[in-house]
Structure 1
Amino acid sequence: MGTKTRTTACLTFSTIANVVAIVLILAAMGTERWVVYSVDRTKLTTLQRTSSTTGITARYYHTRQRGMFRECYPGNDTLFLDTLGGVIDKNCFMLMFGDDSASASEEYTSMIALYTSFMAMFLVGELLLVVSYAVGLYMCLVRPTSHVWIPTIMVCVAAFVVVLGMAFFHSSIYLQDTLVQDQLPDRQQYYSKWPGELKRATTRKFKESYIAAWVGVAFAIIAAFCYGVTATAMAPRSNLLEKNVKRLPSYRPPRRHHRPRPVRPMPVMTLDPPRTKPLKLMSTKVLPNPPPYYLHPY
């Protein structure tokens, strides 16, 4: 498989995974199946079954499913909804984040802050995924060579933000079930103030919306990996030797801070011009008796 084919395949997979992550997280935010409280009314006393048909306390004696923004009652034994105000879509209530916080405990205030942060993190993560999808679509069409790591970084940040939101969600659930003991009149009641029979009759489970959020995080991680492979293939490559040579400092001769010494002239040997006049024989006298060393044979 060539580099161009591998780049096209990774870019296609990353775009598809990004779209799936966007759809799953958006579905998790818009559905009411995060937490399902199932109430077995046969385990309740006769007095509790009859008294839990009116008033705000009836909401905790019936099976319900909670989403990010509201709580719904899908069963048929929900006649108490006709006597309550604030009902949306016939069987839903908006989650109460406007309870009187002046007399609330620190645990209650922390629970509300964590749940609000959970919603904010999911909104920010969804926005980052949408923007990264737009940038990835631009890469599919233009194939730039610069700024190719932007969608990878954005998807990684989006996945981290969503995971952080899930941590805030679990923290708020923990505070609600264990530490919050506020009992506000005609308002929400929390697990620590429930009767023992209601606690034994109620089971809590994380359902489809919760699972969809985690699957969306997994697809976001897959999209980030594919975007990273694509960015590695599309980034311009330079020769390692040329890169190292460019980093070497240029050679400069050392500067001389003193004046150069004057060069002394060296003596030059020259030959005398040839004689133009022949040598004259000064005497032609022959010695009569030459010395013996001239006659000695060598």
Structure 2
Amino acid sequence: MGRECCSLVVLCLGAVASLSAMALVSIGVSTDHWTRTVVDRARVKTQGEENNTEYMFFTRNTGLFRICFPEKDRPLEGSPGLFLSIVDDWCYSREFYLNDISKGVFSPPGLSSHANTQLQLHRSSPILLFGYLFSMALVGLLGLCGCWQQSANKLITTAAFQLLAALVGASAMATWHAALFFEMEKVHDEGFPLSWPDWLQESTTVEISWSYIVTWVGVCLTLLASLATSAAAICLRSRRRTWEDDALRMKLKVSRMFAQHAYFPDDIRSSHSPSIHDRDYPDYPTIPANFPTHNKMLSARGPGSELFLTERNKEYKKVLNQLEDSRF
């Protein structure tokens, strides 16, 4: 009973962790709070740039796909590329150069080597995260089949795929970090922080926001789910081994019971051995108390005795066949 509770509880914990991980990563991917860039607007006004509508002069939140402006100071409505998101924030879409990709050009012309590296890393992060979500969806179906069939092998496979998904998610986070590093420290192309005026760089602060933290928590929960699923599979396999041992002991007990009786009751009348009335058949303790011994059975020969013996014989054979054909 303890092992059954162990496998069930641990498996439930793994399932909850897996579903929570998918939910958290989905929230992180769909929100725009990976970094928060705070700009000192007083310094901007001091420099006479308060009417400049470029995005780098405003406090903003940056996600995987959008740059949004949560405060009242933002680019003017109607600026090229500015749109209202579903959460009522005015945003710009981040540039992925999708038109160039559709033409088979993965490295747009005019970018430096560092800018091109930053672009490829920036593209890789959402692709890997979507791959993570797709893998976790397949893993969930596989794990559900493993639970229904109580298959330790399927649960081990599920744990392995969860571990692989966790590695994919961690790789996505690593590429995001690398893209941020190149953006802030390596790329001098126009529009990147190193090309801004010195006073603007000094007035700008970039910090990690909650979408990034939520995504990392989801990836860590995936690793925890993998460990929990592996532990549940080990508990289930141990319980299966106990079932096999119990079944083997039952088969041996039944075999020993029939070994003490050289023949079934129906075969007694067809035997050519000496008269069975001359033999003394002891009452073996393995025979149930309500089952008559050989002498009593044969001494009570009457119109219904043969039918009684036949039914008992069939019952014994049925039980034995079920035990021998059982699969664990």
- Please report the TM-score for the alignment, with normalisation by the length of structure 2: 0.66
Conservation of the 8 A alpha-carbon contact between 2:131 and 2:168: yes
Equivalent residue number for residue 144 of structure 2: 137
Q: 2:197 aligns with which of 195, 198, 202?
A: 195
Q: Which has the higher helix share?
A: 2
Do residues 12 (structure 1) and 19 (structure 2) align? no
Larger radius of gyration: 1
Q: RCO greater where, 1 or 2, for CA within 8 Å and sep 6 or more?
A: 1
Pairs within 5 Å for 1:66-85? 66-85=62-81
Equivalent residue number for residue 24 of structure 1: 24
Which deviates further from its counterpart, 63-72 or 228-237?
A: 228-237
CA separation in 1, counterparts of 2:83 and 2:63?
15
Q: Once superposed, which parts of structure 1, at least 4 consecutive aligned residues long, lie more than 6 Å away?
A: none
Pairs within 5 Å for 1:55-66? 58-66=54-62
Task: Give, as a single letter, the amino acid of the residue that structure 1 aligns with 2:122.
Answer: Y
CA separation in 2, counterparts of 1:126 and 1:222?
16
Do residues 147 (structure 1) and 149 (structure 2) align? no
Q: How far is 1:118 from its partner?
A: 1.0
Provide Cα deviations, 1:87-122, integer angstroms capped at 9, x if missing partner.
Answer: 243611110122882111111111010111111111
CA separation in 1, counterparts of 2:133 and 2:229?
17
Task: Give, as a single letter, the amino acid of the residue that structure 1 aligns with 2:229.
Answer: Y
Conservation of the 8 A alpha-carbon contact between 1:18 and 1:223: yes
Equivalent residue number for residue 95 of structure 2: 96
Q: How far is 1:136 from its partner?
A: 2.0
Task: Give, as a single letter, the amino acid of the residue that structure 2 aligns with 1:8.
Answer: L
CA 1:173–1:47: 2 relative to 1, 3 Å: same
Q: How far is 1:196 from its partner?
A: 1.2
Provide Cα deviations, 1:59-87, integer angstroms capped at 9, x if missing partner.
Answer: 00000101111111111122523333352
- Report the identity percentage: 23
Provide Cα deviations, 1:237-296, integer angstroms capped at 9, x if missing partner.
Answer: 499xxxxxxxxxxxxxxxxxxxxxxxxxxxxxxxxxxxxxxxxxxxxxxxxxxxxxxxxx
Do residues 123 (structure 1) and 122 (structure 2) align? no
Conservation of the 8 A alpha-carbon contact between 1:118 and 1:168: yes
Q: How far is 1:13 from its partner?
A: 0.4
Give unmatched runs, 5+ long, in structure 1.
184-188, 240-298
CA separation in 2, counterparts of 1:129 and 1:84?
38
The CA RMSD over aligned residues, in Å, is 2.0
Pairs within 5 Å for 1:195-274? 195-235=197-237, 237=241
Task: Give, as a single letter, the amino acid of the residue that structure 2 aligns with 1:95.
Answer: R
CA separation in 1, counterparts of 2:138 and 2:158?
8
CA separation in 2, counterparts of 1:80 and 1:9?
55
Conservation of the 8 A alpha-carbon contact between 1:88 and 1:94: no
CA separation in 2, counterparts of 1:72 and 1:59?
9
Task: Give, as a single letter, the amino acid of the residue that structure 2 aligns with 1:208.
Answer: W
Equivalent residue number for residue 173 of structure 2: 166
CA 1:127–1:84: 2 relative to 1, 3 Å: same
Which deviates further from its counterpart, 146-155 or 203-212?
A: 146-155
CA separation in 2, counterparts of 1:103 and 1:143?
58
CA separation in 2, counterparts of 1:217 and 1:192?
32
CA 1:194–1:41: 2 relative to 1, 3 Å: same
CA separation in 1, counterparts of 2:124 and 2:81?
27
CA separation in 2, counterparts of 1:225 and 1:132?
14
Equivalent residue number for residue 186 of structure 1: none
Equivalent residue number for residue 113 of structure 2: 106
CA 1:158–1:145: 2 relative to 1, 3 Å: closer
